[in-house]
Structure 1
Amino acid sequence: MQNIVSFKLSNYFQLHRQKIKLNQQDLVNRNIDDYNQQDAGFTLIELIVVVLLAGILAAIAAPGWVAFVNRQQLNKANDALLAVLQDAQREAQKKKLSYSVSFQKNSTTQNVEVAIYPTKKSDGSNLAFADISTWKPLGVDVGVSSDKFILGTNLSSENSAGSSVSYTLSTSAKMTFDYMGTLTNANFGTVTPPATEPSGIKIVVAIPSPQNPSSAGSVKRCIIVKTLLGSTVTKKDSDCN
């Protein structure tokens, strides 16, 4: 009798332990299912919130990014402008000939273009503006989009600085280096107090004004020539006015 009771108790505890294990396993499986269901994806509301937040952040960041890119392009254009003047000066010294640099805006492509060329033709006469054939977009070699900025100068005539910078390029937008690489008959402008020296010959690249694309905005870069030897300084923004 005692053996029978012991056997039954043993079976009872064994079945009870198996039941507890099954319950524990079922609980684990339920937790896993719940976790998988919760982690299965996003609700429509969550997606809408994420899209709205992304749009707001993009709207805030976009103007700053565009301004940064424009400034970088303008810096590269100014570097290219300096390289053009230096190339013309070197060509004049190397070939012992007078070399000129001219600027224009191509009416078809809207690109700002520059040309380096011998000032005189083989017969000794000056090369006419209409006969210049070496035009190329400013900064094309360094990846600058020259239709994104405008160029201006204070050149009132060849090698002569006027009182203000004009963004309407004409045949007067011309600089000439003689066979020694110096600026012939240069006029660097008048001294306007409180300044103590002439303003110099200015070549300016600028981001167009949003209100008037043919005039300059506040973001500018420029090369200023102040000596007969063609020495240059680079300036920006209000110093280029």
Structure 2
Amino acid sequence: MGKLSLRLLRLTRSNVKSKRPCLLNTLHYASAYTQQDAGFSLLELIIVMVMIGILSAIAAPSWFSFVNRQRLNKAQDAVLASIQQAQQTAKKNKLSYSVSFTTDSTNVVKVAVYPSSSPGILLSDKRWQSLGGDLQIPAGSVLLSTNIASPNTIGTAISSTAYDSTTQPNTITFDYMGTLPNPSFGTPPTGSTDAPGLKIVLASAISSVSSSSSVKRCVIVKTLLGSMLTAKDSQCS
């Protein structure tokens, strides 16, 4: 029995020794195969880049439109806040206050709230502030227009704003009670009993945004009491 066990042990050792080179060769070939196929092929990289380009082309317009609308919403909120500030300050101080809007030579929208007794304020006056302040509205990204021909009086059409130190055409004035003295809200269009009202209109200045001209936001002062509402797109025309 002992001799048989010894023979079996020798045979087992002999088989292991004979198989060891084969095992080593297999590991060597597997290692070489793994090293040769590591990473991506040029074709795979090209396919991935083309797919990224296609997805970007699809998503970019939607993203730019979203950013554009968010920017106009911020500008609309800033316009509304400025008009409300003028009205509230007039009632608080028991004085007539005005809010004026303009666009300077660098296409930055400006707003000023000041006592109505002040003469035409210069564009260098510290009361002129960039619209939105710290709301991160990029300079020149928003176009401003109004239908205001003179304080509290609408004109024949909505037109872009430009600074005028003498007439201040883009001005809304509140008296000491917070109401509008001698307003003219225009004639209601055919088929409607609603007058146009005093409109401050905002549009995108970025021509690359699809249909940017139809995307608008506005604030409308509608009544003698200074009631305000916000509107968008076709309602701002």
State the TM-score bracket (shorter-chain normalisation): 0.7 to 0.9
AA partner of residue 11 (structure 1): R
- The answer to whether residue 232 in structure 2 is matched with residue 236 in structure 1 is yes
- The answer to whether residue 183 in structure 2 is matched with residue 191 in structure 1 is no
TM-score, with normalisation over the residues of structure 2?
0.85
Q: Which residue of 2 aligns with 1:103?
A: 101
Shift of 1:96: 1.0
Task: Return 187-196 or 129-138, whichever deviates more.
Answer: 129-138
Aligned CA RMSD, in angstroms, stands at 2.5
CA distance in 1, matches of 2:109, 2:123: 18
Q: Which residue of 2 aligns with 1:178?
A: 175
* Identity of matched residues, %: 44
Unaligned runs of 5+ in 2: none
Unaligned runs of 5+ in 1: 122-126
Shift of 1:135: 0.9
- The answer to whether residue 200 in structure 2 is matched with residue 203 in structure 1 is yes
Q: Is contact 2:100-2:111 (8 Å) kept? A: yes
Shift of 1:7: 6.6
Distance 1:206 1:188, change over 3 A: same
Q: 2:221 aligns with which of 199, 221, 225?
A: 225
Distance 1:208 1:7, change over 3 A: closer
Q: Is contact 1:207-1:218 (8 Å) kept? A: no
Q: How many aligned positions are there?
A: 227
Distance 1:195 1:132, change over 3 A: farther
Superposed CA deviations along residues 70-122 of structure 1, whole A, max 9, x for unmatched, are 11110000000000001111111111111111111111x2201111111114x
Q: Which runs of 4+ in 1 moved over 4 A?
A: 5-10
CA distance in 2, matches of 1:10, 1:135: 101
Task: Return 15-24 or 184-193, whichever deviates more.
Answer: 15-24
3-state DSSP of counterpart to 1:189: coil
- The answer to whether residue 152 in structure 2 is matched with residue 159 in structure 1 is yes
Distance 1:130 1:14, change over 3 A: closer
Superposed CA deviations along residues 127-154 of structure 1, whole A, max 9, x for unmatched, are 1244772111111231212410111111
AA partner of residue 112 (structure 2): A
- The answer to whether residue 112 in structure 2 is matched with residue 81 in structure 1 is no
Q: 1:140 aligns with which of 119, 133, 137?
A: 133
CA distance in 2, matches of 1:23, 1:17: 10
Q: Which residue of 1 aligns with 2:50?
A: 52
Shift of 1:239: 0.6
CA distance in 1, matches of 2:17, 2:68: 74
